[in-house]
Amino acid sequence: MIDHTTRAFDADLHSLALKIAEMSRLDETQIRQSIEALVKRDVELARAVIAASGRVDALQREIEEKAIVTIARRQPMAIDLREIVGALRICNDLEKIGDLAENVAKEVILLTDAFLIDEVILQLQRMGRLVLDQLTRVLQSYERRDAAEALEVWRNDLEVDSLNNSLFRESLTYMMENPRNITFCTHLLFCAKNIERIGDHATNIAETVFYMIEGQQILDKRPKGDMTTFATTVPGN
């Protein structure tokens, strides 16, 4: 009976991990495509990103339902319970990451008639690639149960903040130099803030992975850059 219960619980955990992996792949695709849509001003690709958000939301509901049923049936203790709680926390961050990628795609649609500044776009593209790399690495740390890798991702969030602040100052310069740049740069700042928030959620996941493995929180204060940007997302979201 104990062996049967153990196998059933392991199967439940494996099912949760598979759904987290699927959600992760969808998020990574959404981020990659939203940045590509922004760089290329590709409205159709942006709309595809927005359309894909429904599957991310559905997976979050499936993970939550599976986790609740597993807790009720198996009554896990200690590290087993941390596995389930960790999966719930990670799926919550992944759902928010999907929303933020969708926000960037929505901004692309609004940018169609705006003035273009290549330097700002390239800076934002670099920031997007860094955040995507952070997310990929932290999700790998979850799959491999690698606390050291999760901690490294957690420490690297400062670089994303630095890029965000640099882009903010550069955009302000362009807006002061020429009023024609105001609309474009404002939209780009919304995009940058959403991308920076994706980095924050990747850091949240790193904290969760560390807790799942070590059984304790990261004791150090979370590294954070000089927050000179306005804290906002797309209006209405």
All domains of the chain, ordered by start, with CATH?
2-214 (1.20.58.220)
Q: How far apart are CA 134 and CA 117, in angstroms?
A: 26
Locate tokens 């799959």: which residue?
Answer: 143
Q: Which residues contact 198 (CB under 8 A, 6 or more apart)?
A: 31, 97, 100, 101, 131, 135
pLDDT of residue 180: 86
124 sits in which H/E element: helix 118-144
- Please state, in angstroms and as integers, the Cα–Cα distance from residue 173 to each residue in 81, 158, 178, 186, following that order: 51, 23, 9, 12
Residue 229's pLDDT is what?
47
pLDDT in tens, the chain (237 residues): 445 467 788 888 899 999 999 999 999 999 999 999 998 889 999 999 999 999 999 999 999 999 999 888 878 777 788 999 999 999 999 999 999 999 999 999 988 666 677 888 888 999 999 999 999 999 999 999 999 999 999 998 888 888 999 999 999 999 999 888 888 889 899 999 999 999 999 999 999 999 999 988 887 777 665 555 444 444 444
Residue with tokens 């602040």: 165
Smallest CA-to-CA distance from 208 within 221, 197, 217 is with 217
Q: What is the pLDDT of residue 114?
A: 65
**φ, ψ at 236 (rounded to 5°):** 90, 0
Angle at 83 between CA 81 and CA 88, to 5 degrees: 95
Residue 69 identity: V
Handedness of CA 160, 164, 165, 169 (dihedral sign): positive
Residues 6+ apart with CB under 8 A from 46: 34, 37, 38, 105, 106, 108, 109
Burial 20-52, CB ≥16 within 10 A → b, else e = bebbbebbbebbebbbbbbeeebeebbebbbeb
Quote the pLDDT of residue 1: 42
Whole-number pLDDT of residue 225: 58
Give the pLDDT score at 121.
87
The C-alpha atoms of residue 131 and residue 68 are separated, in whole angstroms, by 31
Amino acid identity of residue 55, one-letter, is R
